[in-house]
């Protein structure tokens, strides 16, 4: 099912799930709380979205696993009959929940919503995700903080391996694919050990976790490259929490098949829209009287129906429609980008496509980007971030 | 063009505008800032909306009349090619702007957005609305406050008459219909004087303004009834800022053809949804695990695709999609209600329809309603209301 570009590592494949097939490389919009913020399932379909991510941590706390099961499972609950991946909630337990205590048994934490105490074990994470009924489910992992000592990073990686094994043994449904997560921080040695152990157990797919948490992009890319090169060729490789358009184009070239990130939706709600030349801020005065769409090369609903001036006006007025229109544009940009990437791989022209894209696309200034990311992570730690991962 | 029910005053008609015809009675959703909050033009069409209201005061301040004119006019700017009515901004100048000073010449006020000083005259109000290009435009009026003395109410009514005459003389476009506004507070005598003067001048339609501002419903209905009965039979009668489902059903029976109100959209964003039995609060725990739609008799997008449990979940999470889904439901409820009203009038069964509707529909408790309305008006006066009229 997997084709590669000549002389490169970019792969084009297809994942078969109980809710249909998913061409890869693929980008998954984030719908943590059983909704991709601001848009309906029909809009996701029109945008060309093939699979969405939901979050077991969020849904376990609210509305509760039991409620979703009673409503017929996550697909029916959110009225999305295409494939879904649920994250185990490992990342949220460590980044969003309060007073988290970890033992080998599992994690105890307080809800970020009401402070209530909960425990999660690897077996529990699988049980929750089986109850939600996503097509791909994730093993519970321990995500180290970027400032953790090498010893703590190593201990978290080792616990992640033991937990992955327990998740595998706890799985009872055969219609869901269980993916393991490779941790190990920025240590190539730890990453290698994790890959060796997890692939010896055998999983339906492998994720690379714990990246894009404030480290420079070149380091993230190097760890991704090294880790991806060790993963089996016949299984999907999923880089979690990544990323930007330039990350996708780059990391597909490093052998990655799947991505998820809040970036296009969150940026959209903040008025930042993607174009082939880079991000643009629609609040900028140059858009005040622009009769053309914000991105003249775009075929999304927003660009087909509204001027940049109108979108600018809606953002200035803080009108709710603004957030939806920008979200639709950014998700369509990502969807079109993944289609073009896949086509280039299949045509064996990926290398030139990549070079052309990266030459035209002006990424956000690296220092500003890291600064923004750290501020946001810090805000999350202190629970003052208005948006939830 | 106007048919009436036998032995009653309810009328079914049709208004012809430059952007198509509008069957009456009709309810206009409010899109003050060139957007009906949360929904797209396509969604308004699917809901069955025939005409929307936009606000000259808001659009004059932001994005500016000039910007909209340059973008091809209001219809093209907001991508709504069906009829539009613009309110002159009289109500907003008195309720929303700061430090308003009124002379016979016009009103001077400070913007509620940035405090900048502006002046508006009757001639200016027409010029702005001609520039925006709506199908129906409103004369500038002076809206008295409910606590004003009889002398102030009378002075405001008399000034409104002089301003209406000036608006009529200032009109230059023949493709827009200019409506005059009857003021006069809760005084039947003043209302009568206004009607006599305005009808002697002759306008394309007549609005009843200055009601639904905190007075009891029975008083509002009585003033509406008395005023409507004095208005010419062959011109549209528009009750401004009204209202609730029970208001529409009642006031059509008093001879009103047109309504506008923020109620369905604002209530929707607050989680209150209309049903044939009355308003329901979707945040209520009884909806937590309800697999049925919030209104089993409804054919709107929301009720066709989502359970009450899902809508409840979205509201609990403060997800932006919640506000849209509830808005769509409430607007569809209003649209269906107006269709049923019109059909009943044409079938000469309006009286029994009205009785049946009012028997089934449990209105919000009158004291709570007045209390809510006064609080909201007070919040507006102090500019702390998060929502804009």
CATH code where residue A161 lies? 3.20.20.105
Task: Give the pLDDT confidence score for residue A376 in this predicted structure.
Answer: 73
Nearest by CB to B306, which of A79, A306, A324? A79
Per-position DSSP letters for B269-295, written without gaps between them = HTTEEEETTEEEETTSGGGTT--S-S-
Using a CB–CB cutoff of 8 Å, tell me whether A34 touches chain B. yes
Residues A338 and A245 in one domain: no
CA-CA distance, A23 to A51, in Å (whole number)? 10
Out of B5, B87, B141, B295, which one is annotated catalytic? B87
Confidence at A339, pLDDT banded by 50, 70, 90:
very high
Nearest by CB to B67, which of A71, A289, A319? A289
Q: Alpha-carbon Rg of chain A, whole angstroms?
A: 20
B320 vs A37: CB contact, 8 Å cut-off? yes
Mean pLDDT of all residues belonging to chain B: 94
Residues B275 and B318 in one domain: yes
Q: Is residue B375 part of a domain?
A: no
Closest-CA residue of A relative to B310 is: A77
Residues B41 and B133 in one domain: yes
Residue A331's nearest CA partner among A231, A249, A263 is A263
The 10 Å CB-count burial string (b at 16+, else e) for A77-100 is bbbbebbbbbbbbbbbbbbbbeeb
CA distance B113 to chain A (A): 10
Q: Reply yes or no on whether the pLDDT at B75 is more than 70.
A: yes
**Domain enclosing residue B341, as ranges:** 269-366
In the listed set A213, A245, A262, which residue is the last one of a domain according to the structure? A262
Chain B partners of A79 at a C-beta cutoff of 8 Å? 305-306, 310
**Residue B87 among the catalytic residues:** yes
Residues A242 and A296 in one domain: no
Residues A160 and A185 in one domain: yes
Task: Give the pLDDT confidence score for residue A8 in this predicted structure.
Answer: 79
The conformation of residue B25, written as its DSSP 8-state character, comes to: S
Contacts with B22 (C-beta within 8 Å, 6 or more apart), sequence order: B14, B15, B50, B51, B83
3-state secondary structure of A61: helix
Instruction: For the beta carbon of residue B311, count every other beta carbon within 10 angstroms.
Output: 26
Task: Give the pLDDT confidence score for residue A7 in this predicted structure.
Answer: 65
Tokens of A184: 């190990």
Q: Is residue B378 part of a domain?
A: no
In the listed set A262, A285, A317, which residue is the last one of a domain according to the structure? A262
What mean pLDDT is predicted for residues B63-90? 97
CA-CA distance, A165 to A175, in Å (whole number)? 19
Peptide bond into A63 cis (omega under 30): yes
Task: Please report the number of interchain residue pairs, chain A to chain B, with beta-carbon separation below 8 angstroms.
Answer: 104
| Domain total in chain B | 2
The conformation of residue B149, written as its DSSP 8-state character, comes to: -
Residues B151 and B281 in one domain: no
Using a CB–CB cutoff of 8 Å, tell me whether B329 touches chain A. no
Contact A266, A22 (CB under 8 A): no
Mean pLDDT of all residues belonging to chain A: 94
Chain A partners of B387 at a C-beta cutoff of 8 Å? none
Q: Is residue A373 part of a domain?
A: no
Sign of the Cα pseudo-torsion (B244, B249, B251, B257, in order) = positive
Residues B171 and B132 in one domain: yes
In the listed set B227, B262, B297, which residue is the last one of a domain according to the structure? B262
Confidence at B389, pLDDT banded by 50, 70, 90:
very low
pLDDT digits (tens, 9 = 90+) for A280-320: 999 999 999 999 999 999 999 999 999 999 999 999 999 99
Residues B278 and B156 in one domain: no
Q: Reply yes or no on whether the pLDDT at B330 is more than 50.
A: yes
B77 vs A323: CB contact, 8 Å cut-off? no
Contact A350, A342 (CB under 8 A): no
What mean pLDDT is predicted for residues B107-131? 96
Confidence at A45, pLDDT banded by 50, 70, 90:
very high
CA distance A309 to chain B (A): 8
Chain centroid to CA A133: 19
Residue B134's nearest CA partner among B90, B168, B86 is B86
CA-CA distance, A114 to B360, in Å (whole number)? 39
A309 vs B77: CB contact, 8 Å cut-off? yes
Residue predicted with more confidence, A380 or B259: B259
Task: Give the pLDDT confidence score for residue B384 in this predicted structure.
Answer: 38
Closest-CA residue of A relative to B39 is: A321
Q: Reply yes or no on whether the pLDDT at A386 is more than 50.
A: no
Which of A44, A54, A57, A63 has the most B C-beta neighbours within 10 Å, making it the best mutation to test the interface with B?
A63
Task: Give the pLDDT confidence score for residue A162 in this predicted structure.
Answer: 98
pTM of the complete model beyond 0.90: yes
Q: Reply yes or no on whether the pLDDT at B129 is more than 70.
A: yes
pLDDT digits (tens, 9 = 90+) for B141-183: 999 987 899 999 999 999 999 999 999 999 999 999 999 999 9
Percent of chain B scoring above 90 in pLDDT: 86
Using a CB–CB cutoff of 8 Å, tell me whether A305 touches chain B. yes
Paired residues of A243 in beta bridges: none
Task: Give the pLDDT confidence score for residue A388 in this predicted structure.
Answer: 39
Q: Is residue A384 part of a domain?
A: no
Q: Reply yes or no on whether the pLDDT at B375 is more than 80.
A: no
Task: Give the pLDDT confidence score for residue B94 in this predicted structure.
Answer: 84
Strands of the sheet containing B3-4, edge to edge, are: B3-4, B11-17, B20-24
Contact B117, B110 (CB under 8 A): yes
Contact B301, B328 (CB under 8 A): yes
Task: Give the pLDDT confidence score for residue A389 in this predicted structure.
Answer: 37
Q: Is residue B197 part of a domain?
A: yes
**Residue A260 among the catalytic residues:** yes
Q: Reply yes or no on whether the pLDDT at A373 is more than 80.
A: no
Chain B partners of A317 at a C-beta cutoff of 8 Å? 33, 35, 62
Q: Is residue B374 part of a domain?
A: no
Q: Reply yes or no on whether the pLDDT at A374 is more than 80.
A: no
Q: Is residue A76 part of a domain?
A: yes
Chain A partners of B307 at a C-beta cutoff of 8 Å? 71, 77
Out of B141, B247, B257, B260, which one is annotated catalytic? B260
Residues B288 and B222 in one domain: no
CA-CA distance, B57 to B86, in Å (whole number)? 9
Q: Reply yes or no on whether the pLDDT at B121 is more than 50.
A: yes
Contacts with B279 (C-beta within 8 Å, 6 or more apart), sequence order: B267, B272, B273, B364
Nearest by CB to B316, which of A62, A306, A321? A62
CA distance B339 to chain A (A): 27
B291 vs A70: CB contact, 8 Å cut-off? yes
CA distance B370 to chain A (A): 28
Residues A20 and A149 in one domain: yes
Instruction: For the beta carbon of residue A175, count every other beta carbon within 10 angstroms.
Output: 10
Q: Is residue A301 part of a domain?
A: yes
pLDDT digits (tens, 9 = 90+) for B25-49: 999 999 999 999 999 999 999 999 9
CA-CA distance, B116 to B108, in Å (whole number)? 11
Chain A partners of B40 at a C-beta cutoff of 8 Å? 305, 321, 324
Residues B57 and B134 in one domain: yes
CA-CA distance, B209 to B157, in Å (whole number)? 10
A70 vs B289: CB contact, 8 Å cut-off? yes
Chain A partners of B289 at a C-beta cutoff of 8 Å? 67, 70-71
A321 vs B35: CB contact, 8 Å cut-off? yes
Q: Reply yes or no on whether the pLDDT at B248 is more than 90.
A: yes
Residue predicted with more confidence, B316 or B387: B316
Per-position DSSP letters for B78-143, written without gaps between them = HT--S-EEEE-SHHHHHHTSEEEEE-SS-EEEE-TTT--EEEE-HHHHHHHHHHHT-SEEE----P
A291 vs B70: CB contact, 8 Å cut-off? yes
Confidence at B383, pLDDT banded by 50, 70, 90:
very low
pLDDT digits (tens, 9 = 90+) for A112-171: 999 999 999 999 999 999 999 999 999 999 999 878 999 999 999 999 999 999 999 999
pLDDT digits (tens, 9 = 90+) for A218-243: 999 999 999 999 999 999 999 999 99
Residues A254 and A281 in one domain: no
Nearest by CB to B321, which of A35, A310, A312? A35
Confidence at A94, pLDDT banded by 50, 70, 90:
confident
């Amino acid at each position: 099912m997997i084709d590669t570009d000549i002389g490169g590592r970019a792969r084009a494949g297809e994942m078969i799930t109980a809710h249909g097939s998913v061409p890869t490389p693929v980008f998954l919009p984030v719908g943590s709380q059983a909704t991709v913020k601001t848009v309906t399932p029909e809009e996701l379909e029109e945008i060309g979205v093939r699979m969405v991510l939901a979050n077991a941590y969020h849904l376990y706390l609210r509305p509760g696993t039991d409620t979703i099961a009673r409503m017929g499972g996550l697909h029916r609950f959110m009225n999305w009959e295409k494939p879904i991946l649920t994250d185990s909630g490992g990342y949220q337990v460590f980044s969003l929940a309060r007073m988290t205590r970890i033992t080998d048994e599992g994690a105890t934490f307080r809800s970020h919503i009401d402070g209530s105490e909960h425990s999660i074990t690897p077996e529990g994470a699988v049980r929750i995700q089986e109850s939600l009924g996503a097509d791909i489910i994730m093993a519970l992992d321990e995500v180290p903080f970027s400032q953790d000592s090498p010893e703590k990073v190593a201990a978290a990686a080792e616990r992640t391996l033991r937990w992955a094994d327990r998740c595998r043994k706890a799985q009872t449904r055969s219609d869901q694919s269980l993916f393991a997560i490779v941790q190990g921080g920025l240590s190539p040695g730890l990453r290698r050990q994790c890959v060796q152990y997890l692939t010896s157990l055998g999983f339906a797919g492998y994720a690379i976790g714990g990246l894009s948490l404030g480290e420079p992009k070149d380091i993230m890319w190097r760890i991704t490259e090294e880790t991806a090169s060790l993963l089996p060729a016949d299984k999907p490789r999923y880089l979690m929490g990544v990323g930007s358009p330039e990350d996708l184009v780059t990391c597909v070239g490093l052998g990655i098949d799947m991505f998820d990130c809040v970036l296009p939706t969150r940026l959209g709600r903040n008025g930042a829209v993607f174009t082939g030349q880079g991000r643009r801020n629609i609040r900028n005065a140059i858009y005040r009287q622009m009769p053309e769409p914000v991105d003249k090369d775009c075929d999304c609903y927003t660009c087909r129906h509204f001027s940049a001036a109108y979108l600018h006006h809606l953002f200035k007025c803080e009108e709710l429609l603004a957030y939806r229109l920008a979200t639709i544009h950014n998700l369509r940009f990502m969807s079109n980008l993944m289609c073009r990437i896949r086509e280039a791989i299949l045509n064996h022209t990926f290398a030139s496509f990549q070079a052309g894209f990266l030459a035209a696309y002006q990424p956000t200034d690296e220092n500003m980007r890291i600064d923004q990311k750290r501020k946001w992570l810090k805000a999350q730690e202190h629970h003052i971030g208005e948006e939830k991962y």
